[in-house]
């Protein structure tokens, strides 16, 4: 798989990135470690060398699973982890990084990201200058190689960038969720900040595998996702029907078509999770789907069937 520079750093990332929220098990159902390990390994063998995780995914469990899957090829992969909103004081950032290093069985993180802005989820408000100071220190020590932020607005991104080099932004971004296009994306283009899009398949909605009356199991976070609710969900089904003929013309799946569209957007790379070997391999193959300018515009217009009707709230889930 081709690689791309991560922001202005000397790191090279793959445009398709293995996401591992589900590897942590918490807020997911039906996840087994051994199957996840095989999926991560299959992603690597299919050319995906960038792996995204976070300390909060199962309280370190996701990181530990990654280490089991990839320890023997550590030098060939890019590890991206995140520090949560309740650990943004100087000493907390240092300690959280050390925990992640231990969990991942490595002495450096390629990319370390602030997972949510300070104050999120009722966390204590910590000045961004203090958090960035800790991240800069970790970078000086060689414990991390690049700094990123996640779920930041353009305004928050601009403020963070005053205190150090930000090489990536991780927002929710997919054909069905495009708020970043009006907010931070132009800033990322101007300042050469890579976009690492999460929920790039709208938590599986863009796979087309969920029928009109689908219900999620108890404890599945997707039950709270606005895209799976009411008229949003019905519009998504309409849009998927319009996407099917384009996918068929490329002999690819709806998921692959959606990922191919996303990585063709300015600065954008797609984080895609996988429960099993087949999903991981198929996600990797999306990088081979080449769309014409006309097709990109047609897909863009189909996506707006859904996105034009969403409210302005940047959070994808109806969490209290």
Active-site residue list? 57
- Three-state DSSP at 233 gives helix
* Cα 114 from Cα 269, distance rounded (Å): 18
* Cα 288 from Cα 63, distance rounded (Å): 28
74 CB-near residues (< 8 Å, 6+ apart): 105, 106
Q: Per residue in 5-40, is it b (16+ CB within 10 Å) or e — as a string?
A: ebbebebebbbbbbbbbbbbbeebeebeeeebbbbb
Our CA angle for 122, 315, 310, nearest 5°, is 150
Do residues 21 and 62 make contact, with C-beta atoms less than 8 angstroms apart? yes
- Sign of the CA dihedral with 98 first, then 100, 102, and 107 last: negative
Do residues 157 and 89 make contact, with C-beta atoms less than 8 angstroms apart? no
């Amino acid at each position: 798989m081709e690689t791309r520079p991560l922001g202005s750093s000397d790191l090279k990332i793959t445009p398709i990135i293995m996401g591992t929220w589900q590897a942590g098990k918490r807020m997911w159902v039906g996840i087994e470690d051994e199957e996840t390990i095989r999926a991560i390994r299959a992603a690597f063998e299919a050319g995906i060398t960038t792996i995204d995780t976070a300390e909060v995914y199962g309280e370190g469990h996701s990181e530990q699973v990654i280490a089991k899957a990839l320890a023997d090829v550590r030098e060939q992969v890019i590890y991206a982890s995140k520090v949560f909103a309740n650990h943004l004081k100087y000493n907390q950032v240092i300690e959280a990084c050390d925990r992640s290093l231990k969990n991942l069985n490595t002495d450096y993180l390629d990319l370390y990201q602030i997972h949510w802005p300070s104050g999120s989820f009722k966390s204590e408000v910590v000045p961004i200058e203090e958090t960035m100071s800790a991240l800069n220190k970790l970078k000086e020590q060689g414990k991390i190689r690049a700094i990123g932020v996640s779920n930041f607005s353009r305004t928050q991104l601009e403020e963070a960038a005053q205190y150090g080099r930000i090489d990536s932004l991780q927002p929710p971004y997919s054909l069905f969720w495009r708020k970043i296009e009006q907010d931070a994306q132009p800033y990322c283009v101007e300042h050469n900040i890579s976009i690492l899009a999460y929920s790039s398949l709208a938590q599986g909605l863009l796979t087309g595998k969920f029928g009109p009356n689908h219900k999620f199991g108890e404890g599945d976070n997707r039950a709270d996702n606005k895209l799976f609710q009411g008229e949003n969900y019905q519009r998504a089904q309409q849009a998927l029907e319009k996407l099917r003929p384009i996918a068929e013309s490329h002999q690819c799946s709806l998921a692959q078509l959606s990922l191919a569209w996303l990585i063709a957007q300015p600065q954008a790379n797609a984080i895609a999770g996988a429960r099993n070997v087949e999903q991981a391999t198929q996600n990797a193959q999306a990088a081979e789907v080449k769309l014409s300018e006309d097709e990109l515009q047609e897909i863009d217009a189909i996506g707006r069937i859904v996105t034009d009707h969403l409210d302005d709230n940047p959070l994808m889930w109806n969490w209290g």
